[in-house]
Structure 1
Amino acid sequence: MTSELRSARYGAVLTFVLAGLMVGTMTVRIPALTDKLGLTEATVGTILLVWGLGALVTMQSMRRVMARVGSRAVLRAGGPLTALGLIGVAFAPNLPLLLVAVAFFGMAFGMVDVAMNAQGSAVEQAYGRPLMNGMHAGWCVGAISAGALGSLAIAAGLPFTANVALVGLVSLPVMALLGRTYLPESPASATDTGGRRRMPPIVYLLGAIMFFAFMVEGTVADWNGLYLRDELGAPEAVAALGYPVFEVGMLVARLTGDRLRARFGVRGMLTVSGLATAGFFSTVLLAPAALVAVAAMFFVGLGVATISPLTLSLAGTATDAPGPAIAQAGAMGYAGLLLGPVVIGYLSHATSLHTALGIAVVLGLLIAGASRLLPGHEPSQVTPLPVREPAEAAA
């Protein structure tokens, strides 16, 4: 193993950590943002929608860009731009400028999300063994850190602008420095036409599985607290525990997911993950008390955590260059992240929140069923590490 390859792995993991930290910092301080600008809940929903649509539009356009320039170039530009976008969100003085900053932040993050997964796939293939779950664990570390730092900032009386700007200002130079660690594209990727041609069918199947999984994640993130409080009568402090407990479950699963994949393969893991998601979310819905539901959220996190890393990793092996296929699967997945909470909202209005959340059980079963359509044997993970010229290595 070369020091270059080791640095590329650490650089990819740190990119996931910083991405989770920056996105998590904005979401954790949303209550402070509403106080700063006097926003209503509907306006907050619009802000989050603008951010998500910005990310989704960029992801969908990344196929051609990734095929042309590769993940290293996109990350070198997108990483610092994401930090600048977060700084813009911090200093936005009114709603119109905030919407502009949030759209910019979302679009820059869309670049980073696709490219860091493509870079992770390149590192994984160069290592010749599964690594993607461990990289996505970095996102969980960043998101959990954002929550912890946000709580400390609140306790210290640090306002929204100072907290968010500080994270952005620290992330900006770190993202720039990480640009030196990323792997270049393999020579075969330089002529790949993945940005213009139709993807292999397996990419769309993986995108559908990721769509279902992200619908579950979005449902948990946006609705579990309200369910615990309004349906199970939990105090606000207990209701707030649902999502952090879910994230801890995801972190544990992702830290062990690569070893499990090496033993059981992607199809077996995805099938079990779908069934576990359905089973444990059923436990949440059948729980007689809030604390039982909170405990079950840990196991829902365990179930759903490895689905997106596994699908993105396998998508990265479907074409000569990982970037375009990952961009396609990722865009489909994030559509689910945006659509899931909206569907739950309409269904809960028509029926009840308890009934609407049953869709997560159905999604888990769909994941398990769709996973059986995947091939039984994975492509080889081994790809020769490109050799840099001395001048390029110093760049």
Structure 2
Amino acid sequence: MEHSLSSRQIQRWRVAIYFIFALPGFALASWVSRTPTIRDSLGATTSEMGWIIFGLAVGSIVGLLSASHLIAGRGGRFVMMTGLAVSSAGLGIVALSGVWLTGGIAVFLGLAVFGFGNGICDVAMNVEGTAVERAAQKSLLTGFHAAFSVGNLVGAVAGSAAVGAGLSVLAHLSLAAVVVILCAVYFFRFVPAGTGQERAAESGEPPMTARERMAVWKEPRTILIGIVVLGMAFAEGSANDWLPLVIVDGYHVSPATGSFAFGLFVAAMTICRAAGGMLLDRFGRVAVLRASALSAIAGLLIVIWGQSFTAAAIGVVLWGFGSAFGFPVGLSAAGDDPRGVAARVGAVSTAGYLAFLVGPPILGVIGDSVGLLRALIIVLIGVVVAGLLCHAARPIGAQTDDTNFKA
């Protein structure tokens, strides 16, 4: 399908996907920025708030597991837009819960709806991203993930401004939901229909059945890519959840300094993802993933056994560089074969999100016994395993991995 598009159509498609990647990041940051206010309005304890937020994880996992079947039947564009609409509805439920005063159950349900929409949209937009890569013959998925980070940053800044201006949760989250819907409707027209949809006419083979789509979980290449993504996503997710506390507790610095260290991590990762397409086209997936793993390993070693905050800050930057590529490059590799692309991207996405959602709590339990710094040894082991398996991301049928896209 993508081969029949003009260069102008491909460019518009590419720009639309950049913005669509940014929208879930914006929506997620909008919710996160209001968690203190929502907690206070509910009168929830930290433990109760943890269970309320678990609704987001439940919805996300259900969405991720459902996405490949929805995409195979209706195509990526339909599922992306449906996901954005559903996640916006979830934000609306969370916003209204403060008016209804129905307690944490309404917030839990709203977050479950929000997570489901984000889950199906996440797989669909990554399927679209791999299709744009094939059409443009360029490595683009790391750039798309950088757009998610930019959306996250914009949402965080907007949320901080809303809190500072005294804007209510209802007004803020409702406005954020409207922004997401309006942007989705605008960019809808630039995305071709049917990406990832299983059609016999396009491939010359019969469409994959539901059983065949589930069978991708047994494919050796998909399993290995999933392990790579699992290890690298664990490195990213553990930093997102624990890095400020790791630095504050491990190096006895102020909370502001801990937040500064987290900012270094996010900045390093975003810069790497923005430059990722150029690096991937020049050196290929396997070389970039191996360099990423080495960078993350070096960074984690410095953070765990560093003797000063200055050394730890250098380690944090290397950790951020190393965490930038695992998730998007793994998804790009999973999308090499157009037949069954939604199923494979969905499987690898699920592995990554399990690391994001389940890994950090496990780290917290271990950290209670040995301290957060030493608990990072588990993350280090995961990155080492991922680094050893990077060869699985080599393009299908390629003997070498000089570049991802060859003329």
- In 2, Cα distance between the equivalents of 1:246 and 1:187? 34
CA shift in 2, pair 1:29/1:129, >3 Å? same
Shift of residue 49 of structure 1? Answer: 2.0
CA shift in 2, pair 1:297/1:373, >3 Å? same
- In 2, Cα distance between the equivalents of 1:331 and 1:160? 31
1:244 maps to 263
Shift of residue 235 of structure 1? Answer: 1.1
Q: Greater CA deviation, 249-258 or 165-174? A: 165-174
Q: Greater CA deviation, 110-119 or 184-193? A: 184-193
Answering whether residue 140 of structure 2 is matched by residue 142 of structure 1, we say no
Answering whether residue 337 of structure 2 is matched by residue 322 of structure 1, we say no
Shift of residue 28 of structure 1? Answer: 2.6
Select which of 100, 105, 111 maps to 1:102: 111
Q: Greater CA deviation, 361-370 or 283-292? A: 283-292
- In 2, Cα distance between the equivalents of 1:147 and 1:294? 23
- Encode CA deviations 1:86-119: one digit per residue, 9 max, x unaligned: 1221221321111110100000110110000001
Determine if contact 1:84/1:172 at 8 Å carries over to the other structure. no
- In 1, Cα distance between the equivalents of 2:195 and 2:41? 48
Determine if contact 2:226/2:348 at 8 Å carries over to the other structure. yes
- Encode CA deviations 1:156-184: one digit per residue, 9 max, x unaligned: 23333332222112111111222222123
Shift of residue 66 of structure 1? Answer: 1.8
1:57-206 correspondence to structure 2 within 5 Å: 57-93=62-98, 94-185=103-194, 189-191=198-200, 192-193=207-208, 195-197=210-212, 198-199=215-216, 200-206=219-225
- In 2, Cα distance between the equivalents of 1:217 and 1:188? 31
Shift of residue 65 of structure 1? Answer: 1.9
Secondary structure of the equivalent of 2:366?
helix
Q: Greater CA deviation, 178-187 or 14-23? A: 178-187
Answering whether residue 273 of structure 2 is matched by residue 254 of structure 1, we say yes
CA shift in 2, pair 1:351/1:187, >3 Å? closer
- Encode CA deviations 1:309-328: one digit per residue, 9 max, x unaligned: 10001101134242221111
- In 2, Cα distance between the equivalents of 1:125 and 1:231? 45
Determine if contact 1:16/1:116 at 8 Å carries over to the other structure. yes
The residue type paired with residue 56 of structure 1 is: I
1:54 maps to 59
Shift of residue 272 of structure 1? Answer: 1.1
- In 1, Cα distance between the equivalents of 2:404 and 2:305? 42
Select which of 228, 234, 237 maps to 2:247: 228
Determine if contact 1:60/1:331 at 8 Å carries over to the other structure. yes
Determine if contact 2:284/2:404 at 8 Å carries over to the other structure. no
The residue type paired with residue 286 of structure 1 is: W
2:306 maps to 287
CA shift in 2, pair 1:194/1:281, >3 Å? farther
Pairwise CA RMSD: 2.1
How many residues matched? 383
Q: Show structure 1 runs of 5+ residues with no match.
A: 384-395
Q: Show structure 2 runs of 5+ residues with no match.
A: 1-5, 201-206
Determine if contact 1:55/1:107 at 8 Å carries over to the other structure. yes
The residue type paired with residue 204 of structure 1 is: I
Shift of residue 188 of structure 1? Answer: 8.3
Determine if contact 1:16/1:135 at 8 Å carries over to the other structure. yes
Determine if contact 1:63/1:194 at 8 Å carries over to the other structure. no
CA shift in 2, pair 1:364/1:40, >3 Å? same
Determine if contact 1:210/1:308 at 8 Å carries over to the other structure. yes
Select which of 335, 345, 349 maps to 2:364: 345
CA shift in 2, pair 1:187/1:224, >3 Å? closer
Shift of residue 381 of structure 1? Answer: 4.9
The residue type paired with residue 88 of structure 2 is: A
Determine if contact 2:74/2:197 at 8 Å carries over to the other structure. no
Shift of residue 70 of structure 1? Answer: 1.6
CA shift in 2, pair 1:154/1:294, >3 Å? farther
- In 2, Cα distance between the equivalents of 1:174 and 1:373? 36
- In 1, Cα distance between the equivalents of 2:391 and 2:406? 25
Q: TM-score, normalised by structure 2?
A: 0.88
- Encode CA deviations 1:40-94: one digit per residue, 9 max, x unaligned: 1112221222201211111112222222222111112112221221122122132
Secondary structure of the equivalent of 1:241?
helix
CA shift in 2, pair 1:339/1:165, >3 Å? same
- In 2, Cα distance between the equivalents of 1:261 and 1:211? 20
Shift of residue 195 of structure 1? Answer: 4.1
Shift of residue 135 of structure 1? Answer: 0.7
